[in-house]
Amino acid sequence: MLTERQRLILTTIVDDYIRSAEPVGSRSISKRGDVGYSPATIRNEMSDLEELGFLEQPHTSAGRIPSHKGYRYYVDHLVPLASLDASELKVLKAFFAEKLNAVEQVVQHAGTILSHLTNYTSILLGPEVFHTTLRHFGLLPLNDNKAVAIVVTNTGQVENKTVAIPPGVSVSEIERMVNLLNHRLSGMPIYKLKAQIFQEIGREMERHVSHYQELMSVLDETFGSNLENQRIFLSGTTNMLTQPEFKDIEKVKNILDLLEETPTLTKMISSVASGSGIQVRIGSENTHEAIANCSLITATYSVEGEALGSIAILGPTRMDYARVIGILNILSNNLSAALSKS
Long-range contacts of the stretch 277-286 (C-beta < 8 A, 24+)? 278/325, 278/328, 278/329, 280/75, 280/321, 280/325, 282/68, 282/71, 282/72, 282/75, 282/317, 283/68, 283/71, 283/317, 284/68, 285/68, 285/72
Distance CA 292, CA 283 (A): 5
pLDDT bracket for residue 331 (50, 70, 90):
confident
Helix (H) or strand (E) holding 295: strand 294-303
For residue 5, the tally of other CB atoms under 10 A from its CB is 16
| CA–CA gap between residue 229 and residue 266 (Å, rounded) | 10
pLDDT tens for residues 207-239?
A: 777 777 777 888 887 776 545 444 788 999 988
Three-state secondary-structure class, residue 160: strand
Q: Report the alpha-carbon distance of residue 111 to residue 117 in Å, rounded.
A: 10
| pLDDT score of 151 | 87
Question: Is 337 in a helix, a strand, or coil?
Answer: helix
User: What's the pLDDT at 286?
Assistant: 92
Q: pTM above the 0.85 mark?
A: no
Residue 99 has pLDDT above 60, yes or no: no
pLDDT of residue 317: 95
Q: What was the pLDDT predicted at 204?
A: 77
* Highest mean pLDDT: which range of 28-32, 60-64, 75-79: 75-79
Q: How do strand 65-66 and strand 146-153 relate by DSSP bridges?
A: unpaired
Cα–Cα dist 259/264, whole Å: 9
Strand partners, 162: 148
Give the count of beta carbons closer than 10 Å to the beta carbon of residue 324.
Answer: 22
Rounded Cα gap, residues 299 and 312, in angstroms: 6
DSSP string across 80-115: ------HHHHHHHHHHHHS---SHHHHHHHHHHHHH
* Average pLDDT of the residues in 53-81: 91
More reliable by pLDDT, 189 or 54: 54
- Kindly tell me if the per-residue pLDDT of 295 is higher than 70: yes
Q: Per residue in 105-157, pLDDT tens? A: 777 788 889 999 999 999 988 765 556 788 999 888 888 788 888 888 887 77
Please give the backbone phi and psi of residue 211, each rounded to the nearest 5 degrees, phi first: 50, 40
pLDDT of residue 304: 58
Query: Domains in the chain, ordered, with CATH?
Result: 4-78 (1.10.10.10), 86-129+231-341 (3.30.450.40), 134-229 (3.30.390.60)
pLDDT at 274 over 80: no
* Across 62-71, 119-128, 293-302, 323-332, least confident range: 119-128
Q: 189-204 pLDDT, tens per residue?
A: 776 777 788 777 777 7
Work out whether the CA dihedral 150, 229, 291, 124 comes out positive or negative.
Answer: negative
d(CA 139, CA 160): 10
More confident residue, 173 or 284: 284
Min mean pLDDT across 21-35, 88-102, 105-119, 127-141 is at 88-102
- Amino acid (1-letter code) at residue 286: N
Q: Give CA–CA dist 33/30, Å, rounded.
A: 8
Q: What is the DSSP letter of 227?
A: H
Cα–Cα distance, 60 to 276 (Å, whole number)? 41
CA distance 154 to 187: 8
CA distance linking residue 8 with residue 13, whole number of Å:
9
